[in-house]
Amino acid sequence: MVSNAVKQRGWSFLPRYVLQPMLANWLVGFTLFTTYTAVLPAAYGRASSQYSISSREALPWYPPFVAGAAAGLAQSAVATPLDSLRMRFE
């Protein structure tokens, strides 16, 4: 499939239609992952101050929710301008 596209459009097909979306997808995924992993310990830190390690109680449900919401917010803050640029240049 890629070889047919290169034959029809030339080598400029790769940086324009393959590498740019891969780079944008990497940037969005990187933002999502790093935000989630940075917020999760902080959210558990606030929640775990009420719990001791030796207790058998389950940890609260909301720290992963808070971390996921923050990561989704950061992802949309990065992805929306990138998507807008993509639509404008196509």
pLDDT of 56 reads: 67
Bigger pLDDT: 37 or 14? 37
Nearest C-alpha neighbor of 47 from the set 32, 31, 65, 34: 65
CA distances from 69 to 19, 43, 62 (A): 29, 12, 10
Closest CA to 76 of 23, 35, 44, 16: 35
Asked whether 86 and 24 are in contact (CB, 8 A), the reply is yes
pLDDT tens-digit readout, 5-20: 777 877 777 777 778 8
55 three-state secondary structure: coil
3-state secondary structure of 59: coil
